Structure 1
Amino acid sequence: MKHHIVAIGPLPPPLHGFSYATSAMTALLSEENVTVLQNLSPPENAGRLIGHASKLRRALGACGRLLLDRRLEGKACYLGCDGGWGMCYTLLIVVVARLLGYPTYLHHHSFRYIDKPDLTMRGILALGGPSLTHVFLCEIMRDRFVDAYAVRLRSVIISNAAFVAPTDDRALQPRPLTIGMLSNLSREKGLETFIELLRQCRSEGLAVQAILAGPVANNQDRTSIEAAVKEFGGALDYRGAVYDEAKAAFYEDIDVFVFPTNYVNEAQPIVIFEAKAAGCAVIAYNRGCIRKQLDGSDLLIPANGEFVPTSIAWIAAIPPDSPRSTWRRRTRQDYAERHQRALKRARSLLD
């Protein structure tokens, strides 16, 4: 059956994990259905006041679209769940969708209201009704949500792996072991920890190179990067924001992806799946669903663990003559199977 879907959530720009996943999911839903997009993203670089005013206006516009389409056959509402104050708009849309008789699929992308149960989310659960289906990123997210709110609910698991395609196998050029980080670079995403890791690797005599990529959040973080580039010389390459071919080249040029995030909303980072799709090993903190993203070739560090010394010991244990081409190929193959499983689940969401 073809559905008429009112799809509501943030779309790029700005580009971040939530907007990327929303855009990719709505593209999949559009393959077999009629999808009407309602973008909740505020204008780029908008201040907090202007941003919230814009999101409120767009949320009201989305409610208007639900009203206009309420009599269409096969109607459904797909809604990306905000993780901060934006949950107030999520609550509004959930209530309107229920009043208009829409089966609603609420896609969770944040652990903020799971780590600290939130009154607004309690309102969504109370007012969403029996037609509300929760879409979680992994079993950890689902189980912790159920424990946090002591509820029984209808749910499905759709991993973000559905939205990151495997990459082609390429010949690996001889080079020193290279670590890399790609993110919206900031302290809470682990920028300072990554720089300190490189510093300690060099002081331990490890022949490690590093590549940083991504936009910088503020002037303080920009200054930190500039100082690090000067300190390490040719050992650290900062490439700025990277997209498309430049992003693919970043992942091909590194061996180990480092992601020491302490971001409060962290759930299932797209960048980790991009690294696995390219065949990279990963070092990351155990936050959100990250444990489910990694495998035996990676290093998972407890959320409150010592990131730098643990990482150094793991990196130092990699033999200089390690067959990196072989384990990259195996990692790509394993990820390709994971991607196909997740893609099948995503495409069957409304079945």
Structure 2
Amino acid sequence: MNGSVHQKYINVVAIVPPPHNGMTAVSRKFVTELSSQFSTNEFLVSKPGFVRRELWPIYRQLAIFSKLIEALCKTKGPIYFVLDSNKGIWANLLLHLPLFMFSKRPLILHHHVFSYLNSRDARVGWISHLLGERAMHVVLCTCMQEKLQTLYPGARNAIAIGNARFLNIETTHRESAALNKLGFLGNISREKGVHVFMDTVRRLSVLGVTLEAEIAGPIADKSVWNDIEAFVNEAPDSRSYIGPVYGGDKDRFLAGVDVLLFPSEYSNEAQPVTIFEGIASGMPVLATNIGCIPEQLPKDWVFSRADFVEKAAHLLEEWCRMPAKFFAATQEASSRWRSEQSEAVLQYNDFVELVDAHLA
């Protein structure tokens, strides 16, 4: 148990790095923030090195189930828990929900995915209905909160806390007005939009604009690797794939790129940390209009999937012709990050007050 300001405690059951992704990184930092405000018992799950990638989903569910039982047996007080996605929601419904119902504990349920907010998922409906007033639902943005409460009337208690609150990134102001390099950063797959990125670079070439293009991130699908290799080989002097980047390598990647493209089609995409990392570094980010992204970025930088290649290419072509406009965009990126960070701090403070009152 960690010391606290309020001398009250929350029992945290969560997945933290590894694996390294936006959700686990935010979970780790959220737990750290909780422990600075409340006493916490931490029941954390990470991926051991001996667990193969394809076995991780099964291992993860068994580990969470075990940690949840341990938390309920050894402690009293509320449980903080992160709702899963896709097939993992079956575990939430069939394994975790009965334990929550039996224990009658207050719950803080953190939602990090958008897939069950695009359309109603009966499993989430049962979870929110049966937990009712006992659950406080934490979401990432206003539109998430609205959709959650519209689709799941049982989720009456909901509050938005942006991921920006949990990212310790200093704002960078760029001095250069030159647009020379585009970047793609993420877990590389078709769903994450790497092919849209490559098509946008090709469209720029047709428009007579040649920019460097650098792709960074892990690749699991061999067919995607083959497509990236072909893309690089079309113009090896200006295109590259540099593999996964973490820590200082990621910082150097972001510092060396002028515009980040984030044309994701991933159904779980909610409030991508990568976008915040981009704008915090003074870099415009062009993205698709899914999840919370329209609230993260200026509206002129957000496009539908169908329009992305054409509209992104024309905006980039304009920025190349008009350096003053591009420089203004870099300043807007930095300003947007400061605004998002300030709003998220206020949201988190409201959350602390609600939890504190609940535990009083």
Q: Same fold (TM over 0.5)?
A: yes
Secondary structure at the counterpart of residue 284 of structure 1: strand
Tell me what 1:82 maps to. Answer: 84
1:39 corresponds, among 40, 44, 56, to 44
Tell me what 1:195 maps to. Answer: 198
2:340 corresponds, among 338, 341, 351, to 338
Tell me what 1:24 maps to. Answer: 29
Q: Which runs of 4+ in 1 moved over 6 A?
A: none
Letter paired with 2:20: L
Matched, 1:288 2:291: yes
Percent identity at matched positions?
27
Letter paired with 2:78: A
Secondary structure at the counterpart of residue 202 of structure 2: helix
CA apart distance, 1:41: 4.8
Secondary structure at the counterpart of residue 18 of structure 2: coil
Matched, 1:228 2:234: no
Contact preservation (8 Å) 2:132, 2:156: no
Bigger mean CA deviation after superposition, 285-294 or 19-28: 19-28
1 CA distance for matches of 2:9 and 2:269?
Answer: 31
Contact preservation (8 Å) 2:165, 2:344: yes
Contact preservation (8 Å) 1:179, 1:256: yes
Bigger mean CA deviation after superposition, 260-269 or 229-238: 229-238
CA apart distance, 1:147: 2.2
Matched, 1:242 2:245: yes
2 CA distance for matches of 1:101 and 1:87?
Answer: 20
Looking at secondary structure, tell me which structure has more helix per residue: 2
CA apart distance, 1:333: 3.5
TM-score in terms of structure 2 length: 0.87
CA apart distance, 1:330: 4.4
1:52 corresponds, among 58, 72, 89, to 58
Bigger mean CA deviation after superposition, 232-241 or 45-54: 45-54
TM-score in terms of structure 1 length: 0.89
Tell me what 2:188 maps to. Answer: 185
Tell me what 1:153 maps to. Answer: 156
- Cα distance change of structure 1 residues 209 and 184 upon mapping to structure 2, 3 Å threshold: same
Contact preservation (8 Å) 2:141, 2:292: yes
Where does structure 2 lack aligned partners over 5 or more consecutive residues?
Answer: 1-5
- Cα distance change of structure 1 residues 161 and 168 upon mapping to structure 2, 3 Å threshold: closer
- Cα distance change of structure 1 residues 49 and 24 upon mapping to structure 2, 3 Å threshold: same
Bigger mean CA deviation after superposition, 96-105 or 206-215: 96-105
Tell me what 2:281 maps to. Answer: 278
Contact preservation (8 Å) 1:106, 1:134: yes
Letter paired with 2:144: M
- Cα distance change of structure 1 residues 101 and 115 upon mapping to structure 2, 3 Å threshold: same
Matched, 1:12 2:17: yes
Letter paired with 2:12: A
